[in-house]
């Protein structure tokens, strides 16, 4: 008889059954997932992809302006970006892959200028 890899109990039932109970199966895979070293990397990648998707959805024309609060409400996190570009005026655009943003203040409102990466930005 096989032993459950999670608790060590004997596994009863089908010949291809691996775990003794659904609880043991769930617990085993949860522990394996926690032990993975790349959890931080997956979290960062997930946020970068979310940021990119939001920037793409809000920027249909190649360059647009959107309220910062609207992006933040949808889950955007400006601390996560993949690269940056500094223009001749000294403004620093932060990019999530090919979609970028620049924070601008207009009176008491904070907005983002959204752009798409262009060849001249190299």
DSSP line for 8-49: -PBP-SSTT---SSHHHHHHHHHHHHHH-TTHHHHHHHHHHH
How would you write the pLDDT of the chain (122 residues) with one tens digit per residue? 799 999 999 999 998 999 999 999 999 998 887 777 667 888 899 999 999 999 999 998 889 999 999 999 999 999 999 999 999 999 999 999 999 999 999 889 999 999 999 988 88
pLDDT for residue 36: 72
pLDDT for residue 39: 72
Alpha-carbon distance 82 to 3, whole Å?
46
- The number of domains in the chain is 1
- Region of residue 62 (left: phi > 0; alpha: psi -120 to 50; beta: else): left
Q: Label residue 20 exposed, middle or buried (CB < 10 Å: 0-12, 13-18, 19+).
A: buried
1 lies in some domain: no
Where in the sequence is the domain holding 61, given as residue range(s)?
A: 39-121
Place of tokens 């790349």: 38
pLDDT for residue 37: 65
60 lies in some domain: yes
61 lies in some domain: yes
Numbers of helices and strands, H then E, in the chain: 3, 5
13 lies in some domain: no
7 lies in some domain: no
pLDDT for residue 33: 79
Alpha-carbon distance 82 to 95, whole Å?
6
Alpha-carbon distance 113 to 116, whole Å?
10
Alpha-carbon distance 94 to 81, whole Å?
6
pLDDT for residue 105: 93
14 lies in some domain: no
29 lies in some domain: no
């Amino acid at each position: 008889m096989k032993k459950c890899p999670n608790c060590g109990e004997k596994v009863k039932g089908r010949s291809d059954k691996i775990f003794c109970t659904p609880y043991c199966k769930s617990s085993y895979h949860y522990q394996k997932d926690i032990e993975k070293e790349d959890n931080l990397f997956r979290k960062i990648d997930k946020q970068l992809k979310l940021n990119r998707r939001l920037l793409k959805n809000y920027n249909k024309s190649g360059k647009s302006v959107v309220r910062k609060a609207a992006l933040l409400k949808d889950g955007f996190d400006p601390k996560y970006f993949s690269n940056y570009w500094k223009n001749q005026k000294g403004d620093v655009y932060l990019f999530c892959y090919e979609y970028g943003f620049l924070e601008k203040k207009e009176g008491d409102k904070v907005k983002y200028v959204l752009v798409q990466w262009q060849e001249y930005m190299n």
